[in-house]
Amino acid sequence: MDLGNLASLKHFIPEMILVAGVLAIVIIDLAVRDKSRLGALALIAAATSLLAIGLEPVLSGAWLFHRMLVFDSFAIYFRTLIALAAVVAIWMSIGSQEVKSCDQGEYYAILLASTFAMFLMAESANLLMAYLALEFVSLTSYILTGFLRHNRRSLEAALKYLIYGGVASGTMIYGMSWIFGITGSLDFNVINKALSTPGHLPVLAVFIALVLILTGMGYKVASVPFHMWAPDVYTGAPIPITTFLAVGSKAAGFALLTRFFFPAISHLAAGGSWTALAGVDWPQLLLFVCIITMTLGNLAALQQTNMKRLLAYSSIAQAGYALMGFVVLSNDGIRAMLFYLFAYYVMDAGAFVVVMIVANSTGREDVDAYRGLAWRGGIVPALALTIFLFSLTGIPLTVGFIGKFYLFAAVIRGQFYILAIVGILNSVVSLYYYLKPIQKMFFEQPRGDEGTVRFQPWDYGLMGVLACATIVFGLYWSPIISFANRSLSFFTGPT
Amino acid sequence: MSHALTLITFVPIAGMVLILALPDSMKNASKWIAVAATIPQLLIAIHLYEHFDTTTSAVQFAEKASWMPSYHISYFVGVDGISISMVLLTALIMFISTFASFGINRAEKGYYAMLLMLDTGMMGVFVSLDFFLFYIFWEVMLLPMYFLIGIWGGPRREYAAIKFFLYTLLGSVLILLAMLGLYYYSATPTFDLTELAANSSHYSIGFQRIVWIALFVGFAIKIPAFPFHTWLPDAHVEAPTAISVILAGVLLKMGTYGILRVNFAVLPAATYQLAWLFLGVIGTINIVYGAMCAMAQTDYKKLIAYSSISHMGYVMLGMAAFTTAGINGAVLQMFNHGTITAMLFILVGVIYDRAHHREINGFGGLAQQMPIYTAFTGFAFFAGMGLPGMSAFISEVLVLLGAWQTHPIMVVFGSATAVLTAGYLLWTFQRIYLGPLNEKYKGFSDLSFREAFTLVPLGVIVLILGVYPHAILGLLNTSLVHLNQVVLSTSGAAVAMVH
């Protein structure tokens, strides 16, 4: 189905709820003096949008707004993930000490707008739309990163993010112009048709165009070598925003990456395996990116002493793991990647929630602030952080293990043995730095200068939900894997 | 009891939940809850022992339920002769080590909760017949062990804990890859170990060799086999007494158990080709090298740790023999090593609790002050040396006799090491217990009732099995003969597959 503007609107309800939320917050912000309720309003908007995604009619798929966006089950999966990330980020913001000092109205309005933009990224069916959505996400992210106006680190992070982002998106749109020159279109479906037509295709030119486009998308998922912004931005941004970028923005990046590299420029053969069109060898390139990303992320994380920075490098490595599912070029791999992104959402957001709880109480983010946490009244957050970190390592009984299990299963099935070996060695290396805060919390005694952790039901509630989810989905993961399985279909036109 | 194996595995978890739910004011009750959780376990183990049919090598007391149908993962537990002996050992050692833990006086709730979680992990490994389930239990066991060493351990506990965790995780991830390989290249994708074993001829020999080595490294780290053994002395020295008992008594057996359960049963052709090198030669190195290292130690606990490495070498050598006597001796040695080393570590703990050091040269003449303790130590040392009339004699002789037919040179080294073993144990005995009494230790009390209570059952078992080894061998024999047959039967087939 190729829907026009008005007909598209009925598949656009979650997005419209977010826009309504943005408008409502802006107007109420002007009207009322007491800004403390704006967070709750934003939370309601994000949660309603999530609900609307859940209630959307299941259909095979459609193009919206004259083939600018595509509505299919793949988009549903990622919009769910992004909406969940927004819910967590807003929930965290309500309890965050850092955010309390900011302009509440603008903060929540931009956060919702950013969510909206990420939805668009997951739905783009056209390179132009993809570019606009990606820029929209980037611009809102720059503002949110620099929201702590009186904090030098926050401002520096925003500036770095802006400069990197500008270069990356500039490079990407240049690559898109090459694609347009070669295929005559920006529409994913038309690009696919053009590349599948036998004839004299300039393979090298297509390859260069893909490398340029990969710059922009790789920057969003923070894969090496476009990862340099991540540690500084994750450290400088307010913790809820760090979480939102680490989880939501990365998921949106993966959505776009997958939609462009699979349905747009690859061919799905029977049996669920994909082949690159026109003999362009991007899979080899991405395999290389994947291996470097996880290795570099893990090695750099070994030396970190700031928790946010440690988690930043860890999230680079995690993106590398997720890419394993990408480079094996099979539906098995994509499904594993989808599952892993969900697992990553639960465990990484959980870890950041604990970091925020500790930072709220003590004002510190370094690993030493966790010394003896279990023995100075913080046994609950200490246990929760332990669960999240073990999950990030991939130890059983957690959802992270199941995620890794699916990834390695796809890798072994695709016979990428070197990748499997690199992957498991990375898991072992990562254990070393994930254990660092655990050692501090449990094995060391407090020295008295760390401060106590105060009990905040609001934050503990979120932490509890995420910790339970980590364990429950580690034991009973059928619902998630079948959701990921259903989301494997890309709409590429009426059949 | 139709759910005996599920019960025996998860009873400790119930105890753990109970302990965690205790209010802080009642934390003294946690040790009794832990005891209360291990008693039914021991009773179920005895029940299983009584009702076990020793005439068949088939899986008994099996329970199966589908868990993840799309990946053919199921909750499948059951025991054969090999695993039931380990289930018995685990139940016994856990019961003993709960009592041996009564000295813990910091964060007791956490300690006993971790101890019980460890219990479930170990029991689960021995009863699982689904590879995925096996792997889950295998890894779950790491977490409590890490915390038990890291929180309640000695001065260098952080280093020992992280070393233990990193080493064993490296082993487990190799097992994970091997497991996935076995799954995807089997005749019909499955994690069911009995089914994988039944269709073992489906794998090509080249594939078998690669997977075999990956699995071997994973399991060898746990044994620990040379050169992957360096984590063990550190872990033992830092771990509290009861944890050392469990580590030596049960955990090390998982390595050799895993090799029998997976490498032998699922990859028999590769086993037949590779065992002489990886089990025979490395096992012999373990025996000799472990004994030599033990001789050089001045820390009492480190000495026992190295002697433990040495004794595990006999298990590997026996497995490499491919004779009925050899493989029976190997598994019997696993059981005997569990009881004897547990005694030795309890005895080290007794003196450490009083002197707060373990320097062998710092003692002297303890026999005058602590006669009962000295008598127990003498008994355990003689058992460790493999004196006739004690359990280790039977198993070591079986191993050496069994291996003589296939690997005579290794047996020469293995049996010659008995002299080294006697040497370092007697020398240690002399330095600690004989001679003039060190004035510092005048006030030491002899064994308490609780300490004696943890030692006596183990000692009795050592004596019984020394005279009547059939009590365990009877369980093992049918399953092991069958397993041995499976491996030997591939010797002809293996040659055919190469060409």
Taking the model in full, what pTM does it have? 0.93
Q: Looking at the predicted structure, is the pLDDT value of residue B497 above 80?
A: no
Average pLDDT over residues B468-475: 90
B176, B184, B191: which to substitute to probe chain A, counting the most A Cβ within 10 Å? B176
Please tell me if residue B139 touches chain A, with a CB cutoff of 8 Å. yes
pLDDT in tens, A175-185: 999 999 998 89
How far is B371 from B377, CA to CA, in rounded Å? 10
Token pair belonging to A214? 């990969």
Q: Structural domain of residue A412, as residue ranges?
A: 281-495
- Hey, which residues does B76 pair with through a beta bridge? B64
Nearest CA in chain B to A445: B151
Q: Give one word for A113, left, alpha or beta, with left for phi > 0 and alpha for psi -120 to 50.
A: alpha
Indicate the pLDDT class of residue A11, thresholds 50, 70 and 90. Answer: confident
Q: Among A137, A47, A39, A36, which Cα is nearest to A87's?
A: A47
- What pLDDT does residue A173 have? 94
Q: Tell me if A287 is assigned to some domain.
A: yes
What pLDDT score was predicted for residue A2?
80
pLDDT of residue A495: 56
- Chain B: residue nearest A390 by CA? B143
Minimal-distance CA residue of chain A relative to B171: A428
CB A147 within 8 A of CB A107: yes
% of chain A exceeding 90 in pLDDT: 62
Give me the pLDDT at residue A59, please.
67
Exposure b/e, A220-251, CB count within 10 A at least 16 = b: bbbbbebbebbbbbbbbbbbbbbbbbbbbbbb
Alpha-helix runs per DSSP H in B27-141: 29-51, 81-100, 108-127, 131-140
pLDDT of B495: 43
Taking chain B, what is the end-to-end CA distance rounded to the nearest angstrom?
51
The answer to whether residue B496 scores a pLDDT higher than 70 is: no
Has residue A433 been placed in a domain?
yes
CB of B181 less than 8 A from some CB of A: yes
Decide if B344 contacts B304 (C-beta within 8 A): yes
Residue B499 — pLDDT band, cuts 50, 70, 90?
very low
Residues of A in contact with B169 (CB under 8 A): 393, 395, 427-428, 431
**Is A193's pLDDT higher than 70?**
yes
A132-153: pLDDT as tens digits? 999 999 999 999 999 888 888 8
Q: Does the pLDDT value for residue B335 go beyond 90?
A: yes
Query: Rounded to the nearest 10 degrees, how much is the dihedral formed by the CA atoms of B180, B185, B191, B194?
Result: -140
Query: Which candidate, A11, A143, A108, places its Cα nearest to that of A68?
Result: A11
Please name the member of A396, A409, A439 whose beta carbon is closest to the beta carbon of B162.
Answer: A439
Radius of gyration of chain B, Cα coordinates, nearest whole angstrom = 22
CB contact under 8 A, B166 and A432: yes
Which among B68, B143, B150 has CB closest to A443?
Answer: B150
pLDDT band at A450 (very low <50, low <70, confident <90, very high): confident
Lowest mean pLDDT among B25-34, B255-264, B380-389: B25-34
* pLDDT tens figures, B363-381: 888 888 888 999 999 999 9
Residue A373, in any domain of the structure: yes
pLDDT at B485 over 60: yes
Q: Is residue A40 part of a domain?
A: no
pLDDT in tens, B175-218: 999 999 999 888 888 899 998 988 888 888 889 999 999 999 99
- Is A384 inside any structural domain? yes
Kindly provide the ipTM of the predicted complex, given to two decimals: 0.91
Query: How distant is the alpha carbon of residue A386 from its chain centre?
Result: 22
CB contact under 8 A, A396 and B158: no
Closest Cα in chain A to B185: A413
Residue A301, domain member (yes or no): yes
Express each pLDDT in B112-122 by its tens digit.
999 999 999 99
Quick check: B177 and A421 CB within 8 A? yes
How much is the pLDDT for B17? 93
Q: Total structural domains in chain A?
A: 1
Q: Which of residues 410-439 of A touch B (CB under 8 A)?
A: 412-413, 420-421, 424, 427-428, 431-432, 435, 439
Average pLDDT over residues A436-445: 90
Average pLDDT, chain B: 90
pLDDT digits (tens, 9 = 90+) for A258-311: 999 988 888 888 888 888 887 788 889 999 999 999 999 999 999 999 999 999
* Cβ neighbours of A387 in B, within 8 Å: none
For residue A290, being part of any structural domain is answered with yes
Q: Answer whether residue A486 is part of any domain.
A: yes
Å from A445 to nearest chain B CA? 10
Q: At A34, which amino acid appears?
A: D
The closest CB to that of B180, out of A412, A431, A443, belongs to: A412
Residue of A379, A393, A442, A478 to mutate for B, most B C-beta atoms under 10 A? A442
pLDDT in tens, A202-216: 889 999 999 999 998
**Averaged pLDDT, B300-321:** 93
Q: What is the pLDDT of residue A390?
A: 94
Give A473 to chain B, closest Cα distance, Å. Answer: 12
Helix, coil or strand: residue A330: strand
